[in-house]
């Protein structure tokens, strides 16, 4: 049952459609960025560029582990490493696309990639150390994305939803890595 307040609120929105149309005509070259976007888009892009750097470092780390994992357990882990590398690349592509939508510039500069990344690169050679390094990086990404999601909140729901989807994938990666670690023979 609609109350008078509900009807009033919905008619107020409808009566304001001319204002929405007028604002939408302003700065059409900005694409998705309408005049009612928050003023701190530069900060949004900076955070997303940090996420982009994190994803790219993870791609490189997983690729390194994919090519260097040895033994029967290593071959099984390598399949997972490659899958994770490909998914991290997809995350990076989505984040870069969002930065561009916001009018920013995706920062793909390899010279500063590690300094902007929340995760670290890894060059361990033992399978256990590789898995632990990857799990550590996934846990960093999970915590970082949870904080970013809170930051974006209602200020940028599109970025927030994208990060929520990426977060779910990172949580799956962490679970996969724990399973692989539990499958290894005990350390001596």
**What is the arithmetic mean of pLDDT over 170-177?**
98
**Structure-model confidence comparison of residues 17 and 89, the more confident one:** 89
**Same domain membership, residue 169 and residue 119:** yes
What are the pLDDT digits (tens) for 120-159? 999 999 999 999 999 999 999 999 999 999 999 999 999 9
Give the 3-state secondary structure of residue 120: coil
Is 187 contained in some domain?
Answer: no
Predicted TM-score (pTM) of the model is 0.83
CATH number for the domain spanning 100: value is 1.20.1260.10
**Same domain membership, residue 13 and residue 69:** no
Q: Which domain holds residue 177?
A: 38-182
What is the predicted pLDDT for the residue at 37?
66
Q: Are 177 and 138 in contact (CB under 8 A)?
A: yes
Counted domains in the chain: 2
Listed range (2-11, 26-35, 98-107, 135-144) with the worst mean pLDDT: 2-11
Is 188 contained in some domain?
Answer: no
Question: By CB neighbour count within 10 A (0-12 exposed, 13-18 middle, 19+ buried), where does 13 fall?
Answer: exposed
**Same domain membership, residue 85 and residue 50:** yes
């Amino acid at each position: 049952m609609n109350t008078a307040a509900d009807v009033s609120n919905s008619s107020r929105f409808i009566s304001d459609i001319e204002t929405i149309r007028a604002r939408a005509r302003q700065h059409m070259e900005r694409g998705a960025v309408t005049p009612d976007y928050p003023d701190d888009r530069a900060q949004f892009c900076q955070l997303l560029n940090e996420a982009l750097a994190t994803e790219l470092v993870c791609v490189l780390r997983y690729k390194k582990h994919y090519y260097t994992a040895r033994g029967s357990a290593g071959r099984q882990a390598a399949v997972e490493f490659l899958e994770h590398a490909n998914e991290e690349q997809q995350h990076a592509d989505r984040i870069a696309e969002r930065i561009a939508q916001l009018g920013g510039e995706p920062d793909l500069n390899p010279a500063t990639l590690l300094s902007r990344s929340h995760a670290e690169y890894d060059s361990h050679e033992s399978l256990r150390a590789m898995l632990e390094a990857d799990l550590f990086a996934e846990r960093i990404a999970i915590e970082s994305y949870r904080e970013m999601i809170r930051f974006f909140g209602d200020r940028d729901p599109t970025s927030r939803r994208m990060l929520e989807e990426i977060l779910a994938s990172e949580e799956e990666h962490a679970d996969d890595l724990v399973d692989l670690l539990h499958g290894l023979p005990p350390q001596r």
